[in-house]
């Protein structure tokens, strides 16, 4: 297919994102703090490994495991193969999959095929993706149409203010977005997941989302890929390159974001814990802290880039085995049981939580 010059420019920018993520150290120099979560070992779990139930409900469907391949960069010329391949893996293992940003479809309809991967995940949960700042640029019905055009079950709205500030072409206006998100939630009858992109969510942000009835929230905490660091690598401006380096480690660690979210939300809200999730034990810790689903992106992207769908499949298979192992070793036969598993906090996580409680003034209102 022939692309317009503007579309080619956009594709090259997205290709650059992928190259930077694959070839450079773009990880947050801090950690998720999930390593400071100690799950209580049960020497007599009284469980059969084969009977451990990983299934959860998500967007009106039943996942075989509480896992999600979260949104990555969208619109690159490699995206069609990547989206289709990862969607196939998600279908095979019964986990959820979200495409990268569909902004490219709004400006360059000729790239729509990169995102239309329903045939690769005919029965599973497929989610679209758009930036919150695009909700100010386009009518809500146009955003809703993005869901319909790829036959998705819903859409992710990503919050990336820190990344936008590091881009010469990025947005600088973030006023009014909460009202636009509320309109989208209403138009799609709740089929909306609001997510961060690696900087986590504060209690204040969580309260705003809960107030407008957002039913799915992905805290996407700090400790994994730093998109401010990614932008510092691609910045042409010496100013933005330096600013990107300054804010490379910006954000709230994943563990803190999950705990803050679970203390605020009720059982009706589905919480996704992502940001630096690399192992099944990370997934177990995230769920024990209160997440319903654990999400990952760069780790499976690297597996896919190295060995296509086979590499991605091996990664998911390992994650599932490690998650089930952690569940057996904590005596948790289901995801709900894992959410109630005894745990202890140590090190920097404990310090973070104490500081957050001081900031909030009342630990019960964190």
> Is 291 a residue whose pLDDT tops 90?
yes
Q: Can you list the domains of the chain with their CATH numbers?
A: 5-365 (3.20.20.70)
Using a 10 angstrom Cβ sphere, with 0-12 exposed, 13-18 middle and 19 or more buried, the burial of residue 188 is middle
- pLDDT at res. 191: 98
Which tens digits make up the pLDDT trace of 12-55?
Answer: 655 666 677 767 777 788 899 999 999 999 999 999 999 999 99
- pLDDT at res. 113: 85
> Is 315 a residue whose pLDDT tops 60?
yes
- pLDDT at res. 299: 93
- pLDDT at res. 77: 60
- pLDDT at res. 9: 54
Q: How confident is the model at residue 6 (pLDDT cuts 50, 70, 90)?
A: low
> In terms of pLDDT, which residue wins out, 20 or 59?
59
CA 88 to CA 9: how far, in whole Å?
29
Which tens digits make up the pLDDT trace of 184-213?
Answer: 999 999 999 999 999 999 999 999 999 999
Tokens linked to 305: 């880039």
Q: How confident is the model at residue 364 (pLDDT cuts 50, 70, 90)?
A: very low
Residue 350's Cβ-side half-sphere holds a number of Cα atoms within 13 Å equal to 8
Residues 297 and 73: beta-carbon distance below 8 Å: no
Percent of the chain with pLDDT over 70: 91
- pLDDT at res. 210: 97
Pick from 17-21, 73-77, 117-121 the range whose average pLDDT is largest. Answer: 117-121
> In terms of pLDDT, which residue wins out, 142 or 5?
142
Other residues' Cβ atoms within 10 Å of the Cβ of residue 263 = 16
Q: Any idea what DSSP says for residue 334?
A: B
CA 273 to CA 270: how far, in whole Å?
10
Grouping H, G, I as helix, E, B as strand and the rest as coil, residue 151 is coil
Taking residues 117-143, what's their average pLDDT?
97
Q: How far is CA 273 from CA 70, 217, 258, in A?
A: 10, 9, 6
Percent of the chain with pLDDT over 90: 74
- pLDDT at res. 366: 41
- pLDDT at res. 343: 95
Minimal CA–CA distance to 67: which of 258, 264, 286? Answer: 286
């Amino acid at each position: 297919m022939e692309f317009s010059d503007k579309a080619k420019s956009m594709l090259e920018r997205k290709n650059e994102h992928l190259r930077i993520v694959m070839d450079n150290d773009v990880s947050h120099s801090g950690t998720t703090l999930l390593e400071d979560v100690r799950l209580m070992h049960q020497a007599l779990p009284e469980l059969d490994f084969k009977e451990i139930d990983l299934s959860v409900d998500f967007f009106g469907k039943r996942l075989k495991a509480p896992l999600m391949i979260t949104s990555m960069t969208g619109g690159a010329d490699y995206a069609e193969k990547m989206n289709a391949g990862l969607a196939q893996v998600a279908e095979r293992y019964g986990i959820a999959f979200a495409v990268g940003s569909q902004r490219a479809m709004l400006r360059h309809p000729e790239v729509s095929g990169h995102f239309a991967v329903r045939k690769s995940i005919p029965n599973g949960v497929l989610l679209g993706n758009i930036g919150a700042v695009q909700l100010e640029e386009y009518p809500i019905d146009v955003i809703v149409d993005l869901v319909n055009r790829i036959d998705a079950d819903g859409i992710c709205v990503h919050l990336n203010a820190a990344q936008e500030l590091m881009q010469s072409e990025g947005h600088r206006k973030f006023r009014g977005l909460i009202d636009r998100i509320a309109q989208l939630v209403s138009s799609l009858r709740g089929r909306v997941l609001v997510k961060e992109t690696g900087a986590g969510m504060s209690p204040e942000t969580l309260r705003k989302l809960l107030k407008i009835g957002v039913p799915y929230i992905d805290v996407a905490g700090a400790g994994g890929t730093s998109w401010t660091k990614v932008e510092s690598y691609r910045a042409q401006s010496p100013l933005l390159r330096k600013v990107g380096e300054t804010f490379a480690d910006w954000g709230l660690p994943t563990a803190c974001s999950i705990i803050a979210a679970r203390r605020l939300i009720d059982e009706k809200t589905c919480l996704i814990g992502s940001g630096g999730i690399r192992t099944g034990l990370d997934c177990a810790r995230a769920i024990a802290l209160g997440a319903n689903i654990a999400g990952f992106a760069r780790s499976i992207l690297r597996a896919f880039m190295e060995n296509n769908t086979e590499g991605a499949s091996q990664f998911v298979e390992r994650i599932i085995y490690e998650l089930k192992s952690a569940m057996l070793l904590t005596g948790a036969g289901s995801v709900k049981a894992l959410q109630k598993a005894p745990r202890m906090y140590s090190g920097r996580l404990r310090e973070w939580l104490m500081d957050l409680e001081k900031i909030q003034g009342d630990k019960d209102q964190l």
